[in-house]
Amino acid sequence: MRKAVEAVRKGDMGIKKASAAFNVPKTTLRRRARGRNKRAKEGNKDLGGRKPILSEEIEVDLVGYILKMEEMFFGLTMDDVRKLAYQIAERNKLLEDSRDRPVYINRDSFGHDWLKGFLKRHPNIAPRTPEATSAARARGFNRAVVSKFFDVYEALVDKYQFPPQNIYNVDETGMTTVQGTGAKILAMKGRRQVGCLTSAERGQLVTVVVCMNVTGSFLPPFLIFPRQRMKAELMDGSPPGAVCVCHPSGWMQLEIFSQWFDHFLTFSGASKSHPVLLILDGHSTHVRNLDVINKARDFGVMIICLPAHCSHKMQPLDVSFMKPFSTYYNTEVAKWLRNHPGRTVSVFQIASLLTPAFQKAATAMTAANGFRKTGLWPVNRDVFQEHEYAPSEPTDQPMPDSSITTLATVENNFGRALLT
């Protein structure tokens, strides 16, 4: 209808010809083209006896405000939007017609019918479940931080000309004997509670250290079990080449990260004639580890530390690998429970359940996507969109030079400077 009206008004076609060409009723087209239909504007027509209280321009501004608040991690709920729309209408004196009040107004907010129509008129917004993001991460990821990091990162890559197979990222994740939230299941409609079997109320956590390079080569995983002593049964069914250590907490420690670094040197083949770049977060076991610093200097490993509270955006493993890895692991745990009724998962099954999940998630495409989305390879400091910096705008401030840490084997004083 819109195209037909435009064709008639421009004089390109007559009423009869445009009606046939665009397959619209001739009498309707005549009324629209001559502007005789009070409920229609151009090709649009309001249905029903009422029209929206807010004008199209006001609604567009409201949509922009909703999207801006969502980008800043202060998203509005549906009740917030209904109340805000009421306040806008009241301030602009759009509620004087009492005939509109019973349908659109509910106390101090617009009703659910208005919200339903508003979402229908603006399909680019929809109710979504937000992902919890800490205030520290919202403040930490800002333009100053990203820019300073890439100043250091680009200089390091340009100086040593690392090929993609020599750029690595390492990170830890926790796997428990109780699977996390699984996929949706089919159940009786209307049932108030739907359950899914887990091995226990609270599980034991095993730390898994994962490392990959740009080309998709993954080091065998490094597992930290929450035990005092090692038992060979813990490694039954583990991925080939995997290494297992024990610590009562099950968490990464200084001496354990030193053991992992030996594992890294073995599989990466790093040396002064074959330097590699290792990207990691700022955990104290990583950057406050003199043993690792000395080994990195001796074996030609350049280490660069990501800025604080930015790993959710800038760490390749966090961006592309950890989520599918966790999902595949949860699926394996659920499958094991189904095939072993009456039993529960213990730390002795972790390695065998982790193996198929790791093999499914550890693909070359996953690694390449992680480095590309973070701008680490190909190197691209402009990879992040403007809206991704929006949460930090209220507290945006310059970052001190000390926030980016590099460990280079060619400078003799870098190790001491890092630990001061």
Buried b (16+ CB within 10 A) or exposed e, 208-226: bbbbbbbebebbbbbbbbe
pLDDT score at 184:
63
Longest dimension (CA), the chain: 90
- Find the helix or strand (DSSP H, E) in which 56 lies: helix 56-71
CA nearest neighbour of 302 among 211, 405, 408, 213 = 408
Taken in order 186, 179, 170, 400, the sign of the CA dihedral is positive
Residue 97 pairs in a beta bridge with: none
Helix axes 254-268, 290-298, angle to 10 degrees: 20
pLDDT score at 355:
96
The whole-angstrom distance between residue 79's C-alpha and the CA centroid of its chain comes to 26
Q: Whole-angstrom Cα distance, residue 300 to residue 272? A: 4
CA nearest neighbour of 167 among 362, 310, 368 = 368
The single-letter code of the amino acid at 2 is R
> DSSP string of 266-294?
HHH--BTTB-EEEEE---HHHHS-HHHHH
Per-residue pLDDT reduced to its tens digit, 292-345:
989 999 999 999 999 888 888 999 999 999 999 999 999 999 899 889 988 889
Q: 312 near 133, Cβ under 8 Å?
A: yes
Would you give the DSSP letter of residue 379?
B
Residue 135 pairs in a beta bridge with: none
Ranges of the chain whose pLDDT falls below 70: 37-50, 72-73, 96-107, 131-140, 179-202, 392-420
How does strand 276-280 pair with strand 105-106?
unpaired
- Averaged pLDDT of the chain: 82
CA angle 117, 122, 124 (to 5 degrees): 140
Residue 266 pairs in a beta bridge with: none
Helices and strands in the chain: count of H runs, count of E runs: 18, 11
Q: Whole-angstrom Cα distance, residue 58 to residue 219? A: 55
Helix (H, G, I), strand (E, B) or coil at 152: helix
pLDDT score at 418:
34
pLDDT score at 385:
87
- Find the helix or strand (DSSP H, E) in which 305 lies: strand 301-305
Helix axes 78-91, 112-121, angle to 10 degrees: 90
Residue 168 pairs in a beta bridge with: 213, 278
**What tokens does 348 get?**
């002795």
Q: What is the pTM of this model?
A: 0.68
The single-letter code of the amino acid at 418 is L
Cite the DSSP H helix spans in 72-162: 78-91, 101-104, 112-121, 135-140, 143-160
* Class of domain 135-182+197-419 as given by CATH: alpha beta
What is the residue extent of each domain of the chain?
Answer: 1-45, 50-130, 135-182+197-419
